[in-house]
Amino acid sequence: MDLKVAQSLVDEYILQFKEGYFPPLCNFARLVEEVGELSREMNHNYGPKKKKSSEDQTDKTKEEVGDILFTLIVLANQMDIDLSDSLQQVLNKYNLRDKSRWTLV
């Protein structure tokens, strides 16, 4: 899915509710919470801390990444950031800064 389309779909979803967007700091806190949930899932799958036998054993990594992406899009929308432009700027920065840093295949 194109980032502009994703931003539009998230905006449509949020604006269907009277409450609209929560304040940016609230959404940032939510983003941090979602990253924490991904961290926990990664630790269960790749680290020493396994899930308790009483916990759902389903791998939720994909869901947690989706939650992070959704929340990041929410933040971008409310701060009027075009994610396509933002990502292109970062890729340009990395391509210039790191062009001699890694071994090409």
Q: What is the pLDDT of residues 18-76, one digit of tens each?
A: 999 999 999 999 999 999 999 999 999 999 888 888 888 889 999 999 999 999 999 99
Number of domains observed in the structure of the chain: 1
Neighbours of 59 (CB within 10 A): 12
Smallest CA-to-CA distance from 14 within 76, 65, 64 is with 76
Q: Is the pLDDT of residue 3 over 90?
A: yes
pTM of the entire predicted model? 0.89
Where in the sequence is the domain holding 81, given as residue range(s)? 3-97
Structural domain contains residue 56? yes
What are the backbone dihedrals phi and psi of residue 56, each rounded to the nearest 5 degrees, phi first? -60, 125
The CATH number of the domain where 18 resides is what? Answer: 1.10.287.1080
CA distances to 53, 67, 92, 93 from 101, rounded to whole Å, are: 44, 32, 15, 13
Q: Which of 88, 62, 75 is nearest to 32 (CA)?
A: 75
In this predicted structure, what is the pLDDT of residue 49?
84
